[in-house]
Amino acid sequence: MGEVQVVAFMVGNEEFCLDISKVREIKEMMPITRVPNAPDFVEGVINLRGQITTVVNLKKLLGYYDIDEDLSKKKIIIAEVKDEVVGIIVDAVSDVITLTDEQIEQPPKTLASRVDIRYIKGIAKINDGERLLIMIDLDKLLGDEF
């Protein structure tokens, strides 16, 4: 029986998670320098201990738009995507969870016909399905962008 540890976080009202092996650290919001002509979901760059790092707004990338969004209370998950370090803005980080193979299901096939689910690794059921986490594959979600 396999297990995986994930970092759970909120984007809007939905709960997502990333494999903990992809996460380097979690930071409070910090000053972001805008980059001209960058895609809408790229908020800009930050100076992370001397390394210039791209910061992506996961809410915008996933299509959840909030016009009056206040980024000051958000968190930045510093993660690895295809050998690059990227900052990912999320609404909140909740916890680290150990999942078993039995708790993870593939997305429903009915969803696949209407939604691009290539970046969804699976859907984790916690507490007998009371809590659902959408498992994101960052390499596939951001792979074409980096």
Structural domain range at position 133? 3-143
How much of the chain, in percent, has pLDDT values that exceed 70?
91
Give the pLDDT confidence score for residue 146 in this predicted structure: 56
Question: How confident is the model over 48-60, as a mean pLDDT?
Answer: 94
Question: How many structural domains comprise the chain?
Answer: 1
For residue 130, the domain's CATH number is 2.40.50.180
114 versus 62: which is more confidently predicted? 62
Average pLDDT over residues 92-119: 83
Q: Kindly write down the DSSP assignment for every residue of 13-74, as one continuous string.
A: TEEEEEEGGGEEEEEE----B--TT--TTEEEEEEETTEEEEEEEHHHHTT---TT--GGG-
What single letter denotes the amino acid at residue 81?
A: V
How far apart (Å, rounded) are the C-alpha atoms in residues 9 and 75?
9
Residue 109 pLDDT greater than 90, yes or no: no
